[in-house]
Chain A
């Protein structure tokens, strides 16, 4: 086995997981909200990108922009519908509504795009970088670069800007923030728009790695759960590290044991960590 190749695969996969999970990390950290429709929003982002590329013939960067705009809109609509439950912090309703939303997205996408798989080819995914007998595509390299860029920009935004301060205030205490004159509703709407755009960006970047199917959302979301919970709920750097660790674990598990059971193995790790350290790996960091 080529160890270096598995390491490269793991690093790429890890950045992919972290990128897919970033919207959820912010959602949890800021609004204490969850989105079980995350996987289906990823699916929709991938299909929008594919449609913009293959159907409209747009250049790749523009196709990404289209997918992100649609993603942000979907996030806004979802949060608008749930706003009352969000303001009441009614998590039971929110969880069930997002599940229902994912189900609707799946039905709608299958109706429009059909149930057969598609291959999303981008200008980057068809060209390879090789060194020795190790290789990766330019798409893989772009995933790593974009993931790091998104994390850095996000961290700077949250820590250094006025918007970031407002968002952190709402995260800390929504009622107090409202008393202090913060428009809590628009922060919640903004966070969901970010979640939608971020997962669409992730789908546009990561989608070309695998065939895309309208039914893929159900399973897709698991790796995000693992990243978010292992990283410590809502911790930005925690989820980056957790994504990377999970990527390396998955790559080596797939190569050494069985690729069919990687989801199950990742889940076993999650359970082990939850039983041993309920706060997640980064529990002490924050």
Chain B
């Protein structure tokens, strides 16, 4: 799609997205679902960068999500920090963590990289459940309401309905970042490293450097979702490291199709809508989510767009090149 068409499409889609919960009836449940969809989609975009562009499977992104949430909870409940401070701190903490994880895993490829990142997630879960500093298994309670007021403008949210504009803004900003990333030099270097690492090296790209940079770019995105999630739930506990978030993120990345800007958002919306409005109970929902993930990869390796594109090609006129 050429840039002007893109701009028009986005200008039409953005207001539609913003009023989606109102169009869906405007109930409290609709706003709650919309806020969670936005938060989890942002969480998934961080991973999308690693899986779709870099071609590696990081299983440590739940940790970045938890880093954002725990940083926010600790600073807000123990130091009385405001929402801007916790946002900045979440981003910084995520960068520090990503640099550590990145440094350790820099030379590891493919499944060893995934094994180690998975292990990081499990160890983080045991730490969060046992370490009194992080609230242990009770977690951290009493996180105050989101308040992003600046002098002269009051920006606070008491419930999900009031939280929606903030969640939507975070989502739009994330989409903007993803789009910028994919057009940037780093974005194309990542794809080249992924698809043909020898060619990348010949072109003067240092694959390890690119990997580390992409890692550093992706972690704050996922952490900012954790930041908002802490305010939405008002408490944070070790269950934020549950494998549910990992499976949800992976499904969001693969369900619609790789390297499609709105893919993770649409996929998150599909999964959350099923869980919120057509739930068959927690365990059955697990089976559904896991089965969807397997079925997509086994039968539609390119995602649901693999369905749509042949249709589009059939109806499209001769391409005007």
On A, residues with C-beta under 8 Å from B are: 34, 36, 81-82, 84-85, 90-93, 95-97, 99-104, 106-108, 110-111, 218-219, 221-222, 225-226, 229, 233, 260-261, 263-264, 267, 270-271, 274-275, 278
A82–B298 CB distance below 8 A? yes
A107–B125 CB distance below 8 A? no
- The smallest C-beta distance from A90 to any residue of chain B, in angstroms, reads 8
Q: Provide a sorted-by-A list of 18 A–B residue pairs whose CB atoms are within 8 angstroms.
A: A34-B111, A82-B298, A96-B297, A97-B293, A97-B294, A97-B298, A100-B247, A100-B289, A100-B293, A100-B294, A107-B290, A108-B283, A111-B287, A218-B243, A221-B118, A233-B112, A264-B127, A271-B116
* Residues on the A chain within 8 Å of B126, using CB: 219, 260-261, 263-264
Q: Which residue of B lies closest to A262 (CB)?
A: B126
CA distance A111 to B264 in the complex (A): 29
CA distance A102 to B284 in the complex (A): 14
Question: CB < 8 Å: which of A92, A219, A261, A270 contacts B57?
Answer: A92
Known: A95-B111, A229-B112, A278-B108. A85 touches B301 (CB 8 A): yes
Q: B286 in the interface, Cβ–Cβ < 8 Å?
A: yes
Interface size class of B (residues with CB under 8 A): 35 or more
- The smallest C-beta distance from A106 to any residue of chain B, in angstroms, reads 6
Q: Which residue of B lies closest to A100 (CB)?
A: B293
B247–A108 CB distance below 8 A? no
Q: Which residue of B lies closest to A33 (CB)?
A: B111
- The smallest C-beta distance from A50 to any residue of chain B, in angstroms, reads 18
CA distance A278 to B106 in the complex (A): 11
- The DSSP consensus for interface residues of chain A is helix
* Residues on the A chain within 8 Å of B127, using CB: 261, 264
Question: CB < 8 Å: which of A104, A219, A274, A278 contacts B294?
Answer: A104
* Residues on the A chain within 8 Å of B116, using CB: 225, 270-271, 274
- The smallest C-beta distance from B312 to any residue of chain A, in angstroms, reads 24
* Residues on the B chain within 8 Å of A100, using CB: 247, 250-251, 289-291, 293-294, 297
Q: Which residue of B lies closest to A83 (CB)?
A: B298
CA distance A109 to B129 in the complex (A): 23
Known: A100-B250, A106-B286, A108-B287. A93 touches B130 (CB 8 A): no
A104–B104 CB distance below 8 A? no
13 new A-B contacts, CB < 8 A, other than A222-B119, A222-B123, are: A96-B250, A99-B250, A100-B294, A101-B290, A103-B286, A104-B290, A106-B243, A225-B115, A260-B130, A261-B130, A264-B126, A267-B123, A270-B119
* Residues on the B chain within 8 Å of A101, using CB: 290, 294
In chain B, residues 77-130, which have Cβ atoms closer than 8 Å to a Cβ of chain A?
A: 104, 107-108, 110-112, 114-116, 118-120, 122-123, 125-127, 130
- The smallest C-beta distance from B129 to any residue of chain A, in angstroms, reads 9
* Residues on the A chain within 8 Å of B108, using CB: 274, 278
* Residues on the A chain within 8 Å of B286, using CB: 103-104, 106-107, 110
* Residues on the B chain within 8 Å of A104, using CB: 286-287, 290-291, 294
CA distance A215 to B264 in the complex (A): 27
- The smallest C-beta distance from A53 to any residue of chain B, in angstroms, reads 24
Q: B272 in the interface, Cβ–Cβ < 8 Å?
A: no
Question: CB < 8 Å: which of A97, A111, A218, A271 contacts B125?
Answer: A218
- The smallest C-beta distance from A109 to any residue of chain B, in angstroms, reads 9
Q: Among B51, B285, B297, which residue has the most Cβ atoms of chain A within 10 A?
A: B297
Q: B42 in the interface, Cβ–Cβ < 8 Å?
A: no
Q: B165 in the interface, Cβ–Cβ < 8 Å?
A: no
- The smallest C-beta distance from A272 to any residue of chain B, in angstroms, reads 10
A34–B114 CB distance below 8 A? yes
* Residues on the A chain within 8 Å of B289, using CB: 100, 103
- The smallest C-beta distance from B29 to any residue of chain A, in angstroms, reads 24
Q: Which residue of A lies closest to B52 (CB)?
A: A92
- The smallest C-beta distance from B243 to any residue of chain A, in angstroms, reads 5
Q: Mark B270-299, 1 if CB is under 8 A from A, else 0.
A: 000000000000011111011101100110
CA distance A53 to B283 in the complex (A): 25
Q: B254 in the interface, Cβ–Cβ < 8 Å?
A: yes
Q: B219 in the interface, Cβ–Cβ < 8 Å?
A: no
* Residues on the B chain within 8 Å of A218, using CB: 122, 125, 243
B119–A107 CB distance below 8 A? no
Question: CB < 8 Å: which of A84, A99, A110, A270 contacts B247?
Answer: A99
* Residues on the A chain within 8 Å of B291, using CB: 100, 104
Q: Which residue of B lies closest to A39 (CB)?
A: B122
* Residues on the B chain within 8 Å of A81, using CB: 294, 298
In chain B, residues 241-258, which have Cβ atoms closer than 8 Å to a Cβ of chain A?
A: 243, 246-247, 250-251, 254
The 8 closest A-B pairs by CB, nearest first: A107-B286, A104-B290, A100-B293, A103-B290, A107-B287, A111-B283, A100-B290, A100-B294
Q: Which residue of B lies closest to A34 (CB)?
A: B111
B111–A85 CB distance below 8 A? no
- The smallest C-beta distance from A209 to any residue of chain B, in angstroms, reads 19
Q: B55 in the interface, Cβ–Cβ < 8 Å?
A: yes
CA distance A91 to B110 in the complex (A): 7
